[in-house]
Amino acid sequence: MSKFKSKNWEVLPKIKKKNSEELCKFPEIVRQLLVNRNIQKKENANHFLDPDYEYFHDPYQLHGVKEAAKVIMQAVEEKKKIVIHGDFDVDGICSTSILWDFLYRVVGADVLPYIPSRFEEGYGMTDRSLRNVRKLGGELVITVDCGIKDAGLIKKWKRKGLEFVVTDHHELDKKNGRFILPFEAKAIVHPSFPEHKYPFENVSGATVVWKLIQVIAREGVLDVDIDSYLDLVALSTVCDVMPLVDENRSILKRGLRTIQDTQRVGLRRLIYDAGLEPTEIETYHLGFIIGPRLNAAGRLDLAIDAVKLLVTKSLSKARELSKKLHDLNLKRQHIQQRIYEDALAQIESNGLERKLYFAWGADWEEGVIGIVAGKISESFHRPVLIATKKKNGYTGSARSIEGFNIIEAISTQSGILDRFGGHPQAAGFSVSAEAIEQFRDNLLELADRDLSEDDLVKSEIADCRVELGQLDWELADWIERFAPFGFGNEKPVFILEKAEIAYLKTVGQTNSHLSIAFLNKSTGEYFNGIGFNLGERAGKLEQGDFVDVLFNLDVNEWNGERKLQLNIKDIRISSK
């Protein structure tokens, strides 16, 4: 049985004349691409397509930011020990690094970074992590990328003498129609604060921190290049899968330029050790090459090492820490493959026809189960929960699909869970050994009720249909102006129908890729395409077949020669 279900293709509605009158100066395909991205005004289109245009919202529009700046600066003046309490993912690592570097090197604060051990202290703030903060002499705790769900914990530790400033971006807890917020904190900085929402709420935790330090710098009239932190803000935005629209797109555009000339020796070393040059870095590299190396620290060891790497000024320390993260990432890859195979075997034994998959093991590494859940979810297009034994219970990670809000589903089981939190597409949880089967069964019932069979077939969304003759360098140049690409601003996807195969073959060391060419009958020329990991399709296709192709238009550069090619996402025999 194939592990991968065939995909549905959906084409976005063709624009009507009235929807694109303001965009009449643009070619038809470009108009379609703009409207597909909800850009229908000439001014907005000009801004979107201008590589130099950037727009950032006023940081003072962020709830609580001025109060937080005041509390922090007062603590600095009173020489209080400040501890930044972060989280162990890339966003938490970047948030902690930005705030520590700014407070220590620019403001001159007595400040320490603190990220808990995933294995000893668990996710987010806990009693144990705050006890350790007290041992460090902490008086003011600034949370980054965490804290908004810890109202009870903050109230408890405030009575023990700790003060808190909460900066976070995660979903707010709500019970009986009312938000549960950590009002015992001296300030709460959050883009989705009720009745005081930021103009664009879908920002990373590091973006929230970046806005905070802007206000501190303005209020304190400090001489600092705030934009120098955009390399880390951009990294967090991509790795935390924030939509690349509105302010996030500007953050990424300028952040990529900052990375190309970054003075952060640890980040440069990390890039070099990945076999890249800073000038080569694009969205993909942040999300799939650089990010996983930083994440490896918290997944298998201590995330604070990744913070040390990002803030160090020592070349030798950068080399040492980057090598450690490189080795940890290799180890993570091997562990991930083992857990993936074990979890998949368990899922298959329970039945691949189930609408939600749930597997658990006794010795699966906690820091890797989230990746495994994501891989299986991507392969089978199902909500997936993977858990591992921890003391007297289980700790797990969940990943979901569009149309099934996993944190909402998990929250319905709050009565039998020890702890949970996260986003609609990704979440974490802790559950006792006695309750884990009931938890699984309840979620299976929810999935059976809420998910249809159609929901379980992955849909590929295409921008529009095109002809071979429309694929030229002018279109490629227009597409380039839509960059940077990523979640929320995907690279344009097209459908080519009834294209005649001129030749095809498999390529790659294991013949896993499909190399194919199509005949343009109007010109007699061939148009090449490459289908990565589609080599198995070669046995079902022949020269002369007419096929429909789902693809991106790419530029292939080889030996100094540049050619247009189709980057094939899916291919099928044309219907008669």
**Which among 98, 310, 282 has a CA at the least distance from the CA of 208?**
98
CB distance 328 to 301 below 8 Å: yes
Q: What is the CATH number of domain 8-47+459-573?
A: 2.40.50.460
Q: Which residue has the tokens 């604070």?
A: 304
- C-alpha–C-alpha distance, residues 335 and 330, integer Å: 9
Query: Coil, strand or helix: which one is 261?
Result: coil
Residue 186 gets which letter from DSSP? S
- DSSP state for residue 460 in the 8-state scheme: E
The CATH architecture of the domain made up of 351-456 is Roll (3.10)
Give the pLDDT of residue 19: 64
Asked, colleague to colleague, whether 8-47+459-573 and 351-456 share their fold, the answer is no
What is the model's pLDDT at position 18? 67
Q: What pLDDT is stored for residue 576 in this prediction?
A: 66
**Could you give the C-alpha distances from 334 to 85, 277, 327, 344, in angstroms and in order?**
30, 26, 11, 16
* Residues 507/515, Cβ–Cβ less than 8 Å: yes
Dihedral, CA atoms, 406, 411, 416, 418, nearest 10 degrees? 90
* Pairing status of strand 426-432 against strand 417-422: antiparallel
Whether 565 contacts 513, CB under 8 Å: no
At the topology level, CATH places domain 59-328 in inorganic pyrophosphatase (n-terminal core) (3.90.1640)
Contact (Cβ atoms closer than 8 angstroms) between residue 171 and residue 194: no
How far apart, in whole angstroms, are the C-alpha atoms of residue 256 and residue 495?
30
pTM here? 0.90
pLDDT at position 119, please? 83
**Structural domain spans, the chain:** 8-47+459-573, 59-328, 351-456
Instruction: Report whether 400 contacts 425 (CB < 8 A).
Output: yes
The Cα 276–Cα 431 span in angstroms is 42
d(CA 473, CA 471): 7
- CA dist 341 and 345 (Å) reads 6
d(CA 388, CA 37): 40
How far is Cα 7 from Cα 568, in angstroms, rounded to an integer? 13
Quote the pLDDT of residue 1. 33
Q: What are phi and psi of 483, to 5 degrees?
A: -65, 165
CB of 535 within 8 A of CB of 511? Answer: yes
Instruction: Please name the amino acid found at residue 270.
Output: L
pLDDT tens string, the chain, 576 residues long: the values are: 333 345 789 999 998 876 677 899 999 999 999 999 999 999 999 999 998 999 999 999 999 999 999 999 999 999 999 999 999 999 999 999 999 999 999 999 999 999 999 888 877 899 999 999 999 999 999 999 999 999 999 999 999 999 999 999 998 988 888 999 999 999 999 999 999 999 999 999 999 999 999 999 999 999 999 999 999 999 999 999 899 999 999 999 999 999 999 999 999 999 999 999 999 999 999 999 999 999 999 999 999 999 999 999 999 999 999 999 999 999 999 999 999 999 999 999 999 999 999 999 999 999 999 999 999 999 999 999 999 998 889 999 999 998 899 999 999 999 999 988 877 888 999 999 999 999 999 999 999 999 999 899 888 999 999 999 999 999 999 999 999 999 999 999 999 999 999 999 999 989 999 999 998 888 888 999 999 999 999 999 999 999 999 999 999 988 888 999 999 999 999 986
